[in-house]
Structure 1
Amino acid sequence: MFTRLAPLLALAACAPVAAPETPAPATVAPQYRAVGTEPFWSAKLSGGRLTYDDAEGRRIDIPAPPARPSFNGERYVTPRLTLDITHTPCSDGMSDKRYSDTVLVIADGRELKGCGEAMADNALEGHDWQVSAIGGAAPGGPRPATLRFEGGRLTGTTGCNRLTARYSMAGETVTIEAAATTRMACPGPAMAQEQRLTAALRGPLTLVQGKDGVMLANADGSAAVTLVPVRP
């Protein structure tokens, strides 16, 4: 058996060795979000698009380029917008939240530093959530408000009345139509909570995933509604 293999081994020794294939560029998860403060900005990689927004209303929205491997990370490079991700822990300087990555964004030549992390697809949907804060402050009502986002329909309770609305998601942008509620009268704090909640849920909001829940943020990055999962 070994004798028969010898000629084949000899031929193999003379045959040219193919060059190893170049490894494919590293990529991050299809959903990625980065944020910065002082000044506030946000960037995201979602649905094949790379976008950047700042507090002054400037936006860059372009097709996402292929990822380029970098030292301990990845870079997405275009003439107008670069997203440079380094896999080292990062703090946004404004909260206790810790991010998995340190991020540098170059937007039209302007360099901005911040933090980022991969986002799970549809992290908001299909879960029961309790409202833990409205506008960054405690809800204030005697009963908790709860929400559920599923299949384009928002349902729940304000802590007083039942609530329903239609919503849509594009990447991390959540657009909620005006919510309809039942019309039961409740004590003052409960009604105040309801009014604050329905007002906070209006208009396009940005989904930000945290360690213990999610936040729906206003255009300026401030918290509109903070949600924690309802424990069974």
Structure 2
Amino acid sequence: MADNAIHGTEWTVQELGGVVTEPPKPQLAFGTDGRLTGTTGVNRLMGQFEVRDGLLVVGDAATTRMAGPPEAMAQEQQLLELLATEQALVITGDRLEIGDGETLALLVRPSIQPVPGAGTEQVDPA
């Protein structure tokens, strides 16, 4: 993947740590100018980003400081901790995986929600 493939894209955080995110789902936009904007689901998020050797590096990240329900605040904290360290990133079609080994975050393009098969179980009617 070219290091600039993420520039100019927008994503919805579908899963964090293998758990489907709760509405309102966090959203991230990676600008062509290297600016990161979006929401944590509770607060607005802004900062700078770059991709070096397949690693996402976020700098100068800041958020607004509103409070939300405990579950939403925990989800926000998990996302912010993920973005605070360099993370591997892989774009495959309409999916963006951030993390290494076990995927720490799965993001999808806003038009693809929910991810087919993610968090849903098929029930055999027989």
Do the two structures share a fold, i.e. TM-score over 0.5?
yes
1:146 matched to 2:27: yes
1:224 matched to 2:66: no
Residues 87-108 of structure 1: CA distance to partner in whole angstroms, max 9, x if unpaired? xxxxxxxxxxxxxxxxxxxxxx
Aligned residue number for residue 198 of structure 1: 80
> Equivalents in 2 of 1:187, 1:178: separation in Å?
26
Using the size of structure 1 for normalisation, the TM-score is 0.44
Instruction: Determine which structure has greater relative contact order: mean sequence separation of CA pairs < 8 Å that are 6+ residues apart, divided by chain length.
Output: 2
- Which structure 1 segments of 5+ residues have no match? 1-118
Aligned residue number for residue 184 of structure 1: 66
1:163–1:180 CA contact under 8 A, matched in 2: yes
In structure 2, the CA distance between the partners of 1:203 and 1:121, relative to structure 1 (3 Å rule), is closer
- Which structure 2 segments of 5+ residues have no match? 113-126
Amino acid at match of 1:200: L
Residues 154-173 of structure 1: CA distance to partner in whole angstroms, max 9, x if unpaired? 10001100001211112311
Using the size of structure 2 for normalisation, the TM-score is 0.77
1:201–1:225 CA contact under 8 A, matched in 2: no
Amino acid at match of 2:107: L
Shift of 1:188: 1.5
> Equivalents in 2 of 1:189, 1:161: separation in Å?
14
- Which entry has the higher C-alpha Rg, 1 or 2? 1
SS at match of 2:80: helix
Shift of 1:134: 1.0
Root mean square deviation, CA, Å: 1.9
Could you tell me which of 14, 30, 45 is aligned with 1:163? 45
